[in-house]
Every structure is written in C-alpha cells, then in structure tokens.
Amino acid sequence: MTDHHNKSFFGHEVGVIIQSPAKNLPHIFLTCIRRKEDGIWEKPSQGEGKTIKLSIEETICILEVLERRLANWRGYHVFHDDKTEIYVGWEDETRNICVFRIGDYEKKFRFPSTRFLTLLLEHIVKEKIEFATSGTFKEKLEEKEEETEDEYRVFSEQIYARDGLHVVETTEYGVSVDLVEIQAKIKVESPKALLIDLENGQEFWIPKSTVHSDFDTQEREKYQLFKVEKWIVEKNLF
C-alpha cells in the first residue's frame, strides 16, 4: 500500500490538486491554481495559488456531498488574519456538476471526475482512520503534549435543504482576542451554538465558545449585549 497520494484535476482555467502526504497524518491538502493571462499555470512552489489543510472530518463532509447525502458543505478557516471560505456543493438539484470553491477559486467537477474523486477520498479516509488514529500509547501521549488545546476549534450546525438533505457548515478557527459588542436576541439554542437576531434583522449562528459575556437563554423577547469574537461577526456580516 502506498504511503502518499497526489492527484490533479485540471479544467480550462482552474486546477485542483489533492495531496495526502502520508497515511499516518490526519489531514490532506487541497491546492487550487489558476491559468494566468500568459497561459502559464500558477506554481504553488513559488507561493502562488491557494492551499488549504483539511481534517479527516472535513474530508468526510466533502465525501457526503459527492455521495449525494449532503446538499452542500461550507467550511471556514480562520487563522490569524488569513481567512478562507470553502464550499462544496451541487450546482443544481440534478446533481450532475459538483462545485468546489476555495477563496476566489472555483472548479466544477463532472462525471467521471466526480466518481474518481469520490473513490480517491473514500480510500484516503479509510487509510487515515486505520493509520492516523493508531499507534502506541506512548506515541499518542507525546503527540498530545505537543498540541495546544486552543490551536483550533471546530463549530458545525446542520440545517435542511429543500429536498431534505443536510446542509453542513464547519468552521475551524484559531484563538481570537479581538472582541466586538453586539445587541441581539436569542432565537434558537443548540448545545453548542446560538441563533441570534440583530437589530437590523440579520440572523446567524454563533458558537457559544466565541461569546465572552453572560447571556440569558430564557430571554427571547429582549435584546442582550454580547461580547463576541470579531471573526464570527465579520464572517456573517461582511
């Protein structure tokens, strides 16, 4: 069995490269490159294009879309000042064209590329579950000591599309110290998040872990003052 995978999918203007550097690492890399005006493709080795690191869980979300069990998945990576939105979903309800959007790069996949990509990601996920989650107790203990608890956090909420399939949004973000104050009503509470309603009528979900002030989940009629991490407000309002 091979230890790594590297597969490119090129269109007329945008190419996507899937890389699994090693079967015992719990992530893959997805790189997008664009053909420049002179006809030369961007070179990631020269800092061009856009590369993101996807966890096993995020890779599974993409697989769920490709296997038509999710309507779409939207990821949002926030690390310091680097913010990248990731979207994978079907162009329409016929589900013949799958759209990958990473930042300002967009690539459309059609059969047989969608099937190839599905089989590749299925294989990689099975491989990583076997090898990236195994090892000796001592090895895992040493890895745990190297990690910081707040290196990143993942937030996800599920809603339903018109045809009953789930729409999943996953946010991976670094620790933020910038807070903003907002006035909002609590509309819905889930175990990990709040659906809030701003004074201008906008609604969006915020992770409870990003709220740095007290709030009353029983009070639904009055606006409350929330001190919220700045990135989540920027993500939903800008």
Q: In the prediction, which pLDDT does 76 show?
A: 80
The pLDDT of residue 78 is above 90: no
Label residue 171 by pLDDT band (50, 70, 90): low
Helix (H) or strand (E) holding 59: helix 56-66
Residue 208's φ and ψ, nearest 5 degrees, are -60, -30
Which domains are seen in the chain, by residue range? 5-146 (2.30.31.10), 176-237 (no CATH)
Average pLDDT estimate for 140-144 = 45
Reply yes or no on whether the pLDDT at 165 is more than 90: no
Model's pTM, two decimal places? Answer: 0.67
* 29-69: pLDDT as tens digits: 999 999 999 999 999 888 899 998 898 989 999 999 999 98
Averaging pLDDT over each range in 77-86, 114-123, 214-223, which range is the top one?
114-123
Between residues 79 and 201, the one the model is more confident about: 201
Residue 101 has which token pair?
Answer: 């959007």
Q: Of 37-41, 93-97, 117-121, 230-234, which range is least confident?
A: 230-234
Tokens standing for 197?
A: 């309603």
Q: Does residue 237 register a pLDDT over 90?
A: no
Residue 65: enclosing H or E segment and its boundaries? helix 56-66
Q: What is the mean pLDDT of residues 87-112?
A: 93
Indicate the SS3 state at residue 117. helix
Q: How confident is the model over 185-211, as a mean pLDDT?
A: 87
Q: Is the predicted pLDDT of residue 140 greater than 80, yes or no?
A: no
Average pLDDT, the chain: 82
pLDDT of residue 232: 79
- Per-residue pLDDT, averaged over 139-162, amounts to 47
Instruction: Give the gyration radius of the chain's Cα atoms.
Output: 20
Order of strands, sheet of 97-102, starting from the edge strand that comes earlier in the sequence: 105-110, 97-102, 82-90, 70-79, 166-173, 153-160
